Structures are given as structure tokens and as C-alpha cells.
């Protein structure tokens, strides 16, 4: 014989069921759709949240969120077709670029190894977020965007400027090898052109000898790399630039030598840090006296290796 459930138990079950939110499903009104899409844009593009996280936050089916994200990628690709970004997206990209530049300046001036690693992770995260966004736009644009400029209309000076901007940099971890998608990303970011235009630029560069400068990227420790999901062709842009006369050999050697010197100094400083941490503990716990000893040791170490 079954026992009757106590009334208070039944009531508590009813209360707990009423507290559980019902999963939202369609159909949605036009106003609800627009409001949700704006929320999805903010959460995905500005806060870098995944579709699953957004679905849980908004209590909406994950497939619906995926559709909203695809909608925004399509909208952004169409904006590229008009050679312009939405005002909101432009502001976001500029903010991320400014943040990246500020972090990189801090990275170059940081003396603490832990701080360098922390900043490098932040920079890498921004690069990845920008890369993912532009890669999706490029993929979408290949099928959605029509050519806007003919091959013979592309100015050679624009290619020269592109090459010089990427090769003649004072970043100690800069690589001379760039992927095709990176070149497209850089052009779109700089000029707000459409994807078809970038493909024409690459084609003209290939006709000018870029295709014979193919090379696998040289990976180094602490090098902030273009994300591994980029499987496009890679080229030695320095080799192409000197071959075409966009960059003189003397200019390139000067920048290359300076980068090697900066790398060497960073490596030596890391070696001194390791020795000091073995002797005095973590760098964050060093006294002012130890910090002064460390700075002098780094200076002496660099000078001795230059003699």
C-alpha cells in the first residue's frame, strides 16, 4: 500500500518546478529577434563569449544563437562589399587595436619575466580574436563579394607600402614570413577594402614573384604567432621585397640586425632572471637591493657579450 506524500513535500516540489526557467523557443516577434541579435552581437563580438555561453545566459536555444552569429558575419561581409564597416564594428576593432598597441608597448618595457609572459598572452588573445573574426569574414566574402577593382588598376606603390610596413618593423620577435590570410587581414584592416580586392592584390604580387618566395614560418620561443588554424600559403615577404626593390638590402639588414640584438638582450636578461630567482626566490619578492643588483648584472652581462 502506497503512502500518501506529505502536503509540504508536494508544495516544495511545485515551488522548485516553478523556479526553473522555461527554455525559450520560437516563434519570436520581430522586435524580440532584433533585441536578441543586438545582445548576441555584444556578447559574442565584444565579450568574446561562445554560442553555448550566450545560449545559457539568454536562455535561448543554441541553434538560434548560432543563426544570429551567422547573421552578423553575413552582415559584416556585406559591409565589406561596400568598403565600409558598421560604425559599431569599426569602433570595436579600433579599440582592440589600440589595446594591443598599448600592451605591446608595455611588453617592450617590462623587466619582469612573469609580466612579459602575462602581457604576451593578452596580446596573443587579441590577435586570435581579430584573426578569427577576419578569417570568417574572408571565408564568407569569397562567395558573397563581387570584384570591385581590376588587376591592372592596383597601384604598385600600394604593394610596396604593404611590404615595407610588414617587413621594416622593430618587433624583436617579428618574422619575415606571412600567410596569405594575414596579408588579406592586414589590407582589410588598413584600407577597409573588400575581400575580392585583397585577392587581386595577392594575385598581382604572385605575378610579380611572390609565388617563388614561398616559405614555412620560422617558429621561435615567445613568438606571438598567427593562429594555427590558418592553413593558407605562407611567403617570405622580405625576400619578395628586396627582390622587387621595395626594400633595399641595406635597409633590411639594418632592421634585421637590430631585431637580432633585441632578441639577444631579452634572452640574456631571461638567463640573469633565472639565476637570480634560483638564488633570491621569485622576482615578485625581490627587495630593492636585489632589484638594483639584478639591473646591474643585466647591464654587465650584455656589455661583456658585446666586447
- Give yes or no for residue 70 having a pLDDT over 80: yes
Percent with pLDDT over 70 in the chain: 70
- Read off φ and ψ for residue 60, nearest 5 degrees: -125, 150
C-alpha cell at 162: 604593404
Tens digit of each residue's pLDDT (9 = 90 or more) over 109-150: 877 777 878 877 887 777 777 766 666 555 555 444 444 455
Tens digit of each residue's pLDDT (9 = 90 or more) over 192-249: 877 888 888 999 999 999 999 998 765 444 444 444 455 778 899 999 999 999 999 9
SS3 for 96? helix
Residue by residue, DSSP assigns 268-284 as HHHHHHHHHHHHH--GG
- For the chain, what is the largest distance between any 2 Cα atoms, rounded to a whole number of angstroms? 97
pTM of the model: 0.46
Taking the domains of the chain in order of start, what are their residue ranges? 82-247, 256-306
Contact between 25 and 61 (Cβ < 8 Å)? yes
- Give yes or no for residue 99 having a pLDDT over 80: no
First CA to last CA across the chain, in angstroms? 97
Count, residues in the chain: 307
Ramachandran area for residue 209 (φ above 0: left; ψ -120 to 50: alpha; else beta): left
In this prediction, residue 2 carries a pLDDT of 45
Mean pLDDT of the chain: 75
Amino acid at each position: 500500500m502506497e503512502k500518501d506524500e506529505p502536503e509540504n513535500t508536494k508544495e516544495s516540489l511545485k515551488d522548485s518546478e516553478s523556479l526553473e526557467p522555461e527554455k525559450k523557443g520560437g516563434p519570436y516577434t520581430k522586435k524580440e529577434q532584433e533585441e536578441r541579435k543586438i545582445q548576441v552581437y555584444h556578447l559574442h563580438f565584444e565579450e568574446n563569449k561562445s554560442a553555448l555561453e550566450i545560449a545559457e545566459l539568454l536562455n535561448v536555444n543554441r541553434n538560434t544563437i548560432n543563426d544570429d552569429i551567422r547573421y552578423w558575419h553575413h552582415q559584416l561581409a556585406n559591409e565589406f562589399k561596400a568598403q565600409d564597416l558598421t560604425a559599431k564594428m569599426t569602433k570595436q576593432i579600433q579599440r582592440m587595436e589600440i589595446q594591443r598597441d598599448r600592451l605591446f608597448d608595455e611588453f617592450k618595457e617590462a623587466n619582469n619575466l612573469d609580466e612579459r609572459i602575462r602581457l604576451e598572452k593578452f596580446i596573443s588573445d587579441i590577435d586570435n580574436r581579430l584573426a578569427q573574426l577576419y578569417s570568417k569574414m574572408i571565408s564568407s566574402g569569397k562567395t558573397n563579394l563581387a570584384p570591385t577593382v581590376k588587376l591592372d588598376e592596383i597601384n604598385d606603390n600600394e604593394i610596396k607600402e604593404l611590404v615595407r610596413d610588414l617587413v621594416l618593423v622593430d618587433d624583436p620577435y617579428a618574422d619575415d614570413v606571412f600567410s596569405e590570410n594575414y596579408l588579406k587581414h592586414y589590407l582589410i584592416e588598413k584600407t577597409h577594402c573588400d575581400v575580392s580586392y585583397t585577392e587581386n592584390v595577392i594575385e598581382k604580387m604572385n605575378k610579380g614573384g611572390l609565388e617563388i618566395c614561398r616559405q614555412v614560418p620560422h617558429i621561435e620561443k615567445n613568438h606571438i604567432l598567427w593562429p594555427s588554424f590558418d592553413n593558407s600559403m605562407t611567403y617570405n615577404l622580405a625576400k619578395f621585397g628586396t627582390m622587387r626593390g621595395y626594400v633595399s638590402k641595406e635597409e633590411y639588414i639594418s632592421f634585421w640586425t637590430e631585431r637580432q640584438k633585441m632578441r639577444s638582450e631579452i634572452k640574456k636578461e631571461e638567463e640573469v632572471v633565472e639565476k637570480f630567482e634560483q638564488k633570491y626566490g621569485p622576482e615578485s619578492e625581490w627587495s630593492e637591493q636585489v632589484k638594483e643588483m639584478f639591473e646591474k648584472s643585466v647591464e654587465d652581462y650584455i656589455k661583456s657579450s658585446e666586447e
